[in-house]
Amino acid sequence: MNSDAELLRSLNDLPKLISIICPMKNEAANLTAFLDRLIPVLQSVAVSYEIICINDGSDDDTLSKLLKLQVTYPQLRIVDFSRNFGKEAALTCGLDLARGDIVIPMDADLQHPPETISEMVLLWREGYEVVLAKRQHRSNESWLRRKTANSFYRLHNQISEIHIPADVGDFRLMDRKVVEALKRLPERRRFMKGLFAWAGFRQTTISFACEDRHAGRSNFTGWRLWNLALEGITSFSTLPLRIWIYIGAVISLSAFTYAVYLVVRTLIYGPDVPGYASLITALLFLGGVQLTGLGVLGEYIGRIYGEVKQRPVYIIRDLHEAENES
């Protein structure tokens, strides 16, 4: 990092302002260590910086600790949501408020090493408008979580026109023009990884070693990750709807073929009393297929219902900015 910082200092056209977006939920134990590592990096790569901290319904002392730290670090801009709206809403809020020439979303638990920012800025200076940060490995996660993550990326990229790079999260550098493009997207049910990929622009990828959380544990349970995966698939692909045309066609063709078989069999061998087991099996099978199809249809209708209500993505209770912000 030192060599990168020295190179950046030798350049006359450093970015005038870098905006860091940090969604936070119960991150009080991480804040001091996070800022101690982040701020020296920002001071070395930019003329000025701001750190947008979004308190997303924390039930610990995250907000009070942020307000105390703001006295020492006036570059902190503290957003307090009226309740927990989720990370996608917090990222959206950060993009709306960010003023920097460069905008970088990152986690406050130090799984995203701040030192990576120096390399990102160097690549931005080479003309890249998006610099993706890709995890080198997932060895610090459970076997099940690694497998489900890999399965999601494979499935999503097979059925969607938008390709999401595997093992690339929200940690990335975006030029101002990219942020302005993202702010034009009006949808309220937001899957940010997909929106980032949809926007495009000239991009490159760097790798980083994902560290263990400095303190606490992840707010993303298995159930929340499952719902996020469904959100991603239904946001960028209509194949789950289209596939029921083929399922229905196959079942109808099978039923027609079986009906022809029964007619021929009756003509040759005479009438036969059908068995209860085969009848109830067929009924349960068709009922299950119909309910599954209705469930998929309902998922898309639910998205339409959420969009037409036009509720805001988030509500800000308070915005705390230092009077002598630099």
- pLDDT at residue 204 is higher than 70: yes
By three-state DSSP, how is residue 109 classified? coil
CB 115 within 8 Å of CB 1: yes
The mean predicted confidence, pLDDT, of the chain is: 76
CATH topology of domain 2-237+312-321: Spore Coat Polysaccharide Biosynthesis Protein SpsA; Chain A (3.90.550)
More confident of the two residues 245 and 77: 77
Number of CB atoms found within 10 A of residue 129's CB:
19
C-alpha span between 90 and 271 (Å, rounded): 67
For residue 55, what are its two tokens? 């308190």
Tell me: the pLDDT tens digits for 10-68? 555 677 888 999 998 888 888 888 898 899 988 888 778 899 999 988 888 888 888 88
Which DSSP helix (H) or strand (E) runs through 103? strand 102-105
Tell me: the pLDDT tens digits for 286-297? 776 777 777 777
CB 194 within 8 Å of CB 164: yes
More confident of the two residues 122 and 262: 122
How confident is the model at residue 45, as a pLDDT? Answer: 83
- pLDDT at residue 256 is higher than 70: no
More confident of the two residues 152 and 178: 178
- pLDDT at residue 325 is higher than 80: no
| Local confidence band at 173 (pLDDT 50, 70, 90 cut-offs) | very high
C-alpha span between 104 and 219 (Å, rounded): 21
How confident is the model at residue 52, as a pLDDT? Answer: 92
- pLDDT at residue 110 is higher than 80: yes
How confident is the model at residue 105, as a pLDDT? Answer: 92
How confident is the model at residue 292, as a pLDDT? Answer: 73
C-alpha span between 104 and 20 (Å, rounded): 5
- What does the pLDDT average to over 116-131? 87
- pLDDT at residue 6 is higher than 60: no
| Local confidence band at 186 (pLDDT 50, 70, 90 cut-offs) | confident
**Beta-strand relationship, 168-175 and 130-135:** antiparallel
Write down the pTM of the prediction: 0.70
C-alpha span between 27 and 24 (Å, rounded): 6
- What does the pLDDT average to over 220-246? 63
Alpha-helical segments (H) within the chain:
2-9, 31-45, 62-72, 87-97, 116-125, 143-159, 176-183, 192-199, 222-236, 239-269, 276-308
| Local confidence band at 326 (pLDDT 50, 70, 90 cut-offs) | very low
For residue 223, what are its two tokens? 């159930």
| Local confidence band at 149 (pLDDT 50, 70, 90 cut-offs) | low
For residue 287, what are the CA distances in angstroms to 157, 174, 244, 250, 290?
31, 48, 14, 15, 5
How confident is the model at residue 165, as a pLDDT? Answer: 74
C-alpha span between 279 and 276 (Å, rounded): 5
